[in-house]
Structure 1
Amino acid sequence: MNTVLEDQDIKYEVELRFRPGGPAILGVWANPQTADAKFTEWLGSHGRDDALLTLTATAGGETRPVKSWTAKGGLRLAPVI
């Protein structure tokens, strides 16, 4: 499968906010499996109430959503391009 982000230096960022607009916990990794594992870990330990959890990928200055989670909306996966 070919995507716009393939074959580029990519950074994967996981961000957790305990409430919209509130303080964030942020982690950045080069390995998508590590970022995904951290997303899952943070979801398990902090995924409740007003929390917002996002995983994004940035390459060439362009940031794209990978997935997100809220208690109200559940898990949402971004479409693969």
Structure 2
Amino acid sequence: MGVISLIWGVVALLWMILALIPLLGWGNWFLIPFAAVGAIIAAIGVLFSGAGKNGRAKAGLILNAIVIVVGVARLSLGGGLI
């Protein structure tokens, strides 16, 4: 679960960078649910992995949380149209 959430977070981060380009802000409408699913996968990975083996899941959770926060902030600025 940790590797999956980490890869999911990296893909969401790359998608977020693309959605920061003007006129591609509509991508945030799809990005936020995508990152939320990644955060859920990461949270499950943190819960079910051992105490010393959940580093990748925590990293995936942090990446997906950053993407969600930036995506929401971007949508609040431009409404997802620009």
TM-score, scaled relative to structure 1: 0.33
Question: Max radius of gyration: which structure?
Answer: 2
* Structure of greater relative contact order (alpha carbons < 8 Å, 6+ residues apart): 2
TM-score, scaled relative to structure 2: 0.33
